[in-house]
Amino acid sequence: MGTGYGFGIFIGGVFSGEVNVNAVQRGPFQSAYLGYWIDEQQAGNSYVPEAVVAVLKFAFEELKLHRVQISIVPRNSASLRVVEKLTLRNEGVAQRYLEINGIWEDHVRFAITAEEWTERSQELTTSWL
């Protein structure tokens, strides 16, 4: 499936969350999946959008990926708020996309390509980093 990278989110020196770049595929794909989580007590403070932008910068500028995708269960409003804040492109619902706890869950897929990063990197890094 490819390699992966994990980046901790530390708040006041305390490990409080993580952003992962998973299933890095090379060859004609040059793509990866991005996932994230944050401690409930730290949610809502915009730490995750900031961390996602930092990891997107790494993915596009260091790993030289062409596409990064984020897939979110539709009922996960906090995760959806992250991609909404970053105005990432919504690619629609993938039905029964991923099995979670024995149930095939729909996911809303969001993506950003290297071309979009080039257009938006200054705005995103200025706003979030």
Top pLDDT among 2 and 82 is at 82
At residue 1, does pLDDT exceed 60?
no
pLDDT at 2: 65
- pLDDT, one tens digit per residue, over 35-68 is 999 999 999 999 999 999 999 999 999 999 999 9
- pLDDT, one tens digit per residue, over 92-122 is 999 999 999 999 999 999 999 999 999 999 9
- Going along the chain from its start, the domains and CATH numbers come out as 3-128 (3.40.630.30)
The pTM is what? 0.94
Closest CA to 35 of 61, 59, 66, 10: 59
